[in-house]
Amino acid sequence: LIKFTLSRYDGHVNAPCSPKLIAFFQNVHAISPKFYRIFCQNFGGYNERTLRRFEAIESPEVPIIDCSEKLIKKRAIDWITNLRGNNKNKMILVSAMADATKVPPMGDFSHRYKVWVGGIFPNHCIKEMDYDQNNFVQTKMASEIKVGMLSTQESTDGISPFKVIAARPQATNEVADEYNSSILHAVDDIPNVHCVSMAFDGLAAETYFIRSNLISFMNGNTNTVVMTDCNHAAKNIRSQLVLGSDIVTGGNALFDVGILHLAGVSMDLYRVSDYASDVVVLKLCSSETIDKLLNLVVTSKEDPLNVAFMAISLYFLRTFLCAYNTDHINSEGRITMLWSVLM
C-alpha cells in the first residue's frame, strides 16, 4: 500500500497494483463506499469506476455462488474436457470435497452481475429489480461460505488438478445435504469419469449425509466412499477431554484440566481460542506435555491415578494422529494403532 501510494504521488496515475491490494480496496469499498472515498483521497486508491472494471475482468461469466445443480455439472464437464485434451475417452477418477470457511457477514452490490450478494442461500444472489438497498440491509448475511471442489491425479500440463465447482453462502454449521449431494454427483453424467471418494471435516451438520452414504457404500449400492478428516476427529476428542462439556472418567480416575495447569502446561492448549488449529492438538498430546504430567507425581501430592489416566489418554490421542498421518507405517500397524485407541 505504501509503495502504491508513493508511486501515485510521484505522478504514476496508472501505477501497478498487486492482486492482494486490489482485493483490499474492493473489501473496503464493500464495507463502506463513503469511507473508501475518504481513504482514496488520503492514500490514492483506485476510483470506484476502476474497481468495477477490475471486477468485470476478474469475474467469470456466471458467479461461483450460483450453485444450481445444472451449473455445478457444467463446471465439472468443462474441467474434465480440458483435462482430457485430445483423448476424449480417457478414464478419469476424481475425488470431491466440501468445506466451509468464514467470511465477514456483509453485503454488497455486484455491478458485474447486477445483483445483491452476501445473504444466506437462497437469498444470496438477488436481482437488482427484485430488491432495493433498504430492504437488502434487513437480509440476514452469510457468516461462512461452503466451497465444493473436485481433484484428480490425472492432471495435464497447463490444467490444474483441482477445480472449484460451487460456493454456497450460509449460516455457521448449516445443514446442506442437497448441496453436498450435488457436489458428490457432479460427474455422474460424464462417460468414463468416476467419483471414488468425498471428504468432509465431519461436523455435526454433515453427520446424516456422511452416515447414509457410508451405509450405501457398505451395502454395495455405490462405489463412492465418504470420509471425514482424521485431524478434525482428533480436535473433537481434544474438546471432549479439556473443554468441560462432559467429565471424562476411566474407572475411578478423572481427567482433571486443573492438573494440566499445576503441571505448567500452556493455557492456550486447554483454553482453546483457535479451534481449527492442528498444532494446538499436537502440542497438547506431545511428549513434553506428558513429561510435565508425570513429573507432577514426583513434585506434588496429586493423585497418581488421575495423572496416569490423563497421560494415557493423551498418549492414545497422539497414537490416533500418528496412525493416520505418519509415513512409513504399513496398513497392519495403522489398524493395530487405531484399534488400540478405540479400545
* Percent above pLDDT 70 for the chain: 93
Residue 8 to residues 1, 3, 15, 27, 201, Cα–Cα distance (Å): 11, 9, 6, 21, 45
Q: What interhelical angle do 331-342 and 304-325 show, nearest 10? A: 150
- The mean per-residue pLDDT over the stretch 282-305 comes to 89
- Of 52-66, 217-231, 297-311, where does mean pLDDT reach its minimum? 52-66
Cβ atoms within 10 Å, residue 38: 10
- The mean per-residue pLDDT over the stretch 167-193 comes to 91
Per-residue DSSP letter, 268: G
Chain position carrying cell 457436489: 183
The values of phi and psi at residue 121, to 5°, are -55, 135
**Interatomic CA distance for residues 262 and 298, integer angstroms:** 13
Give just the sign of the alpha carbon dihedral 271, 273, 277, 283: negative
Mean pLDDT of the chain: 84
- 8 A C-beta contact, residue 198 and residue 227: yes
Any bridge partners for residue 127, and if so which?
A: 115
Residue 33 grid coordinates: 463506499
- Of 30-34, 225-229, 265-269, where does mean pLDDT reach its minimum? 30-34
For the cut 90, the answer to whether the pLDDT of residue 68 exceeds it is no
Query: pLDDT tens for residues 99-133?
Result: 888 888 887 777 777 787 888 888 887 776 555 55
**Interatomic CA distance for residues 275 and 235, integer angstroms:** 8
- The mean per-residue pLDDT over the stretch 313-319 comes to 91
- The more confident residue out of 217 and 207 is 217
- The more confident residue out of 44 and 255 is 255
Q: Give residue 72's pLDDT band: very low, low, confident or very high (50, 70, 90).
A: very high
- 8 A C-beta contact, residue 128 and residue 114: yes
Cβ atoms within 10 Å, residue 11: 7
Q: Give residue 58's pLDDT band: very low, low, confident or very high (50, 70, 90).
A: low
- 8 A C-beta contact, residue 272 and residue 226: no
**Interatomic CA distance for residues 140 and 121, integer angstroms:** 10
Smallest CA-to-CA distance from 165 within 64, 61, 63 is with 64
Q: Give residue 12's pLDDT band: very low, low, confident or very high (50, 70, 90).
A: low
pLDDT at 62: 76
**Interatomic CA distance for residues 66 and 121, integer angstroms:** 10
For the cut 80, the answer to whether the pLDDT of residue 44 exceeds it is no
3-state SS, one letter per residue, for 117-181 = ECECCCCCEEEHHHCCHHHHHCCCECCEEEEEEEEECCCCCCCCCEEEEEEEEECCCCCCHHHHH
- The mean per-residue pLDDT over the stretch 165-189 comes to 91
Smallest CA-to-CA distance from 142 within 173, 187, 163 is with 173
Residues 6+ apart with CB under 8 A from 208: 175, 177
Element (H, E) at 196: strand 193-200
Q: Give residue 19's pLDDT band: very low, low, confident or very high (50, 70, 90).
A: confident
3-state SS, one letter per residue, for 294-306 = HHHHHHCCCCHHH
- 8 A C-beta contact, residue 75 and residue 135: no
- The more confident residue out of 135 and 84 is 84
For the cut 80, the answer to whether the pLDDT of residue 204 exceeds it is no
Q: What interhelical angle do 33-43 and 19-31 show, nearest 10? A: 130
For the cut 80, the answer to whether the pLDDT of residue 138 exceeds it is no
Per-residue DSSP letter, 269: G
- The mean per-residue pLDDT over the stretch 259-276 comes to 86
Q: Give residue 158's pLDDT band: very low, low, confident or very high (50, 70, 90).
A: confident
* Percent above pLDDT 90 for the chain: 29
- The mean per-residue pLDDT over the stretch 247-256 comes to 88
